Amino acid sequence: MPFPAHCWHKLAKRLLDLVYTPQCALCGVVLQLGRSLCGTCDGDLPRLSAPFCAICGEPFHGRIEGLCQCPNCGKLTFSFGFARPAMLRDERTRQLIHQLKYGRAIHLAAELGRLAADAFDDERLGPAIQAKWPLVPVPLHRSRLQHRNFNQAAEIARGVATHTALPVLAALKRIRRTDTQTLLGRQARLNNLRGAFALTAAGRRHLAGASAPGAILIDDVLTTGSTAEACAATLRHAGFQCVLVVTVMRG
Ligand SMILES: [Zn+2]
Ligand SMILES: [Zn+2]
């Protein structure tokens, strides 16, 4: 008689338990298998809450009623409707993202995806949920993907998908490798990213079958918003009518 799949799954979990004790990525406390963040650390990570900029999610201090834009966004135009980071700029959240990206702590993607999914509490994302817009990860260039073995945005998108029931669609590819962006300002970043993204065959197939296509771009951090802008511009140019952005953190 064949061994049922769920038994194999249980056995694999037990074996994993023997060799790998899951710990909280921030405080090191021992956890149940499948978790990488303890309840205390999780609860301590600051979430983005109102008031914040309606376009870029930059938090405002003091009492401001309703949605308004920060002085920076007021001067700019965007290809995306708005970007909604789930978390405030915070060293611990940054550390988790850093561990995922550079420490190959791929198991953290599920926790970061769960944190990012909190952004969907924002009622402005309600119509996108209803219409089942796909989650489109910001792509990595092939050479970087070979080096890292995974795309952190794609892994985070998978985590978001489990909490929102939205599909993940690899609609974008990076066709040009770009220099590192960290030291550049917004305009220099935008210039640096010109022509860096293109629609994939999967993206084209999706567009062919959708009547009013929209997409939710997923990334780890929103800093100047120039990567999101370049990706959104590519999607809009290809035929997506509306693009929104969800990231784990406001950088
Ligand atoms: Zn902890
Ligand atoms: Zn803003």
What's the average model confidence in pLDDT over 145-163? Answer: 94
Ligand nearest to the CA of 27: 1
Distance between Cα 250 and ligand 2 center (Å): 11
- pLDDT of 91 strictly over 60: yes
Among the bound ligands, the one closest to the CA of 39: 1
Task: Give pTM, 2 decimals.
Answer: 0.89
**Interior/surface letters 144-178, b for 16+ CB within 10 angstroms, e for the rest:** eeeeeeebbbbbbbbbbbeebebebbbbbbbeeeb
Kindly tell me if the per-residue pLDDT of 245 is higher than 70.
Answer: yes
Tokens of 10: 């249980």
Looking at residue 15, what is its pLDDT?
Answer: 67
Is 18's pLDDT higher than 70?
Answer: no
Pull the structure tokens for residue 130: 């209803």
Q: What is the pLDDT of residue 143?
A: 87
Q: What's the whole-number mean pLDDT along residues 24-30?
A: 96
Residue partners of 92: CB distance under 8 A and separation at least 6: 26, 41, 44, 45
Considering every ligand atom, which ligand is closest to the CA of 52? Answer: 2
CA of 30 to the centre of ligand 2 (A): 39
pLDDT band at 13 (very low <50, low <70, confident <90, very high): low
Residue extents of the structural domains in the chain: 1-44, 47-250
Closest ligand to residue 186's CA:
2
Q: What is the per-residue pLDDT for 103?
A: 92
Nearest residue to 174 via CA among 156, 195, 154: 195
Q: Give the pLDDT confidence of 113-146 residue by residue, as tens digits.
A: 999 999 999 999 999 999 999 999 999 988 888 8
**Rounded-to-integer distance, Cα 36 and Cα 49, Å:** 24
Q: What is the pLDDT of residue 96?
A: 98
Query: What is the CATH code for 47-250?
Result: 3.40.50
Q: How far apart are alpha carbons 151 and 33 in whole angstroms?
A: 23
What percentage of the chain carries pLDDT values higher than 90? Answer: 73
